[in-house]
């Protein structure tokens, strides 16, 4: 697995309502002839649920895997046991591996991965509100670190919005400036 510098934290997104964002993403995926899959830890299936709330999502959503336990991350999604042991489940490398695993194992154009600490307190020394989202696609893997505040539900909702925003940014870039 390649070594990736940790992205700088950005405020949790919230400019576009998540339902509108999901609808736009489904339409863009359909138009591009692309598909999407998710591998979620922190969000526990909320990303894929948000996508499939949109009518017509079945044309582009291949599926989602909830991988809350490290053993599931390793067995089903190919997350490195060594990374989990050395860095823990809440790090950029795990988010990237989840996204890549979703893309590869579920046969999608795009894979989305989420990991983090929803709270209310820290987990394994990682503060509540620490979130990493990643998207794997035709051009490689991109990740964002989010620093979220609020209740457990608010942190998870911000992670969903962050993951979908990253997917939207990369999808727009890929369809506006396709790789040869």
Report the pLDDT averaged over residues 73-77: 98
pLDDT, position 3: 44
For the whole model, what pTM was predicted?
0.91
The two three-digit tokens of residue 22, written as one number: 């999901």
For residue 16, the model assigns a pLDDT of 77
| pLDDT score, position 7 | 47
Q: How far is CA 111 from the centre of its chain?
A: 7
Average pLDDT over residues 39-67: 98
The whole-chain average pLDDT of the chain stands at 92
Higher pLDDT, 33 or 7: 33
| CA-based nearest residue to 161, from 46, 52, 65 | 46
SS3 96: helix
Confirm if 123 and 116 have CB atoms less than 8 A apart. Answer: no
pLDDT at residue 109, rounded to an integer? 98
pLDDT of residue 175: 82
| pLDDT tens column, 140-153 | 999 999 999 999 99
Give 137's strand partners: 140
pLDDT tens readout for residues 82-131 = 999 999 999 999 999 999 999 999 999 999 999 999 999 999 999 999 99
Residue 158 gets which letter from DSSP?
A: H
Q: Where are the beta strands (DSSP E) in the chain?
A: 9-11, 36-40, 61-66, 110-116, 130-137, 140-147
pLDDT at 14 over 70: no
């Amino acid at each position: 697995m390649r070594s990736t510098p940790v992205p700088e934290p950005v405020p949790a997104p919230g400019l576009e309502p998540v339902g509108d964002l999901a609808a736009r993403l489904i339409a863009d995926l359909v138009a591009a002839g692309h598909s999407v899959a998710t591998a979620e830890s922190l969000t526990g299936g909320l990303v894929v649920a948000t996508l499939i709330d949109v009518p017509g999502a079945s044309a582009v959503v291949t599926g989602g895997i909830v991988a809350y336990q490290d053993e599931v991350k390793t067995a089903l999604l190919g997350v490195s046991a060594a990374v989990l042991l050395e860095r823990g489940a809440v790090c950029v490398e795990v988010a990237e591996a989840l996204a890549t695993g979703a893309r590869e194992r579920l046969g999608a154009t795009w894979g989305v991965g989420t990991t983090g600490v929803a709270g209310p307190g820290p987990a394994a020394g990682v503060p509540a509100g620490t979130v990493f989202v990643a998207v794997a696609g035709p051009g490689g893997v991109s990740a964002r670190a989010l620093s979220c505040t609020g209740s457990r539900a608010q942190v998870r909702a911000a992670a969903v919005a962050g993951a979908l925003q990253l997917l939207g940014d990369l999808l727009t870039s890929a369809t506006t400036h396709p790789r040869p």
